[in-house]
Amino acid sequence: MKKIAVLLSGCGVFDGSEIYETVITLLAIERNGASYQCFAPNKDQFHVIDHHAQQPVSETRNVLTEAARLARGNVKPLHDLKVHEFDALIIPGGFGAAKNFSDFAVKGADAAADQDVVAFCQQFAAAKKPAGYMCIAPSLLPFVYGHGIQLTIGNDNDTAQALEQLGAKHIDCAVSDIVVDEQHRVVTTPAYMLAGSLSEAASGIDKLVAKVLSLATTD
């Protein structure tokens, strides 16, 4: 049975992992006959958002602790990764991927990434194991793979330009489709960068998970 590492950035679309994307991902992994283990960095979130008011609040929360809400408690810190035990990596979106993994959400093309997160992801790259990044999570890819990595965040021109300034090659993509960088074995899909419903998000996420698992079978 293939085993997938799933990297979470907290819990909640505005300051952590997008809950719908994460659940769809975990379900798709199981439906494809694979298993998963969730991971998250043990650090404070960039900030905390009141998801009802959609405003920041004066509060501090830990990414790992919040991710445990989403993973039903079964989440490990980054340093627990033994990359040889896994066949692939998948990262759901949500603004946490661009706030807690890097500061892309606030600095765009001038962003810097969390080096512990980058090192975690680079273990899969170094082992030539496939990876899937969705929604805004592909903003981390230039830091992991360097210049020339092919990816999509959908069709938002300003975000695409910022990613290209960081060294990525952006490809416009429909919500129901995926972009595959064959050289780096990386799969991306827009998910809620474009989706207007659960079913629309699932249409691309299901393809991403299936493709990542198919690439893993060639190891």
The structure tokens listed for 130 are 């496939």
Which residues, in sequence order, are bridge partners of residue 139? none
- The single residue of 11, 38, 135, 173 carrying the catalytic annotation is 135
Q: Is residue 191 within 8 Å of residue 204, measured between CB atoms?
A: yes
Q: What per-residue string of b and e applies to 105-131 under the rule 16 or more CB within 10 Å gives b? A: beebeebebbeebbebbebbbeeebbb
Q: Catalytic annotation on 173? A: no
Reduced to 3 states (helix: H, G, I; strand: E, B; else coil), residue 1 is coil
Distance CA 217, CA 103 (A): 34
Task: Return the number of other C-beta atoms located less than 10 Å from residue 80's C-beta.
Answer: 9
Angle among Cα 77, 120, 172 to the nearest 5 degrees reads 120
Distance CA 184, CA 85 (A): 20
Distance CA 72, CA 111 (A): 31
Read off the DSSP letter of residue 156. Answer: -
The amino acid at residue 72 is R
Residues identified as active-site: 135
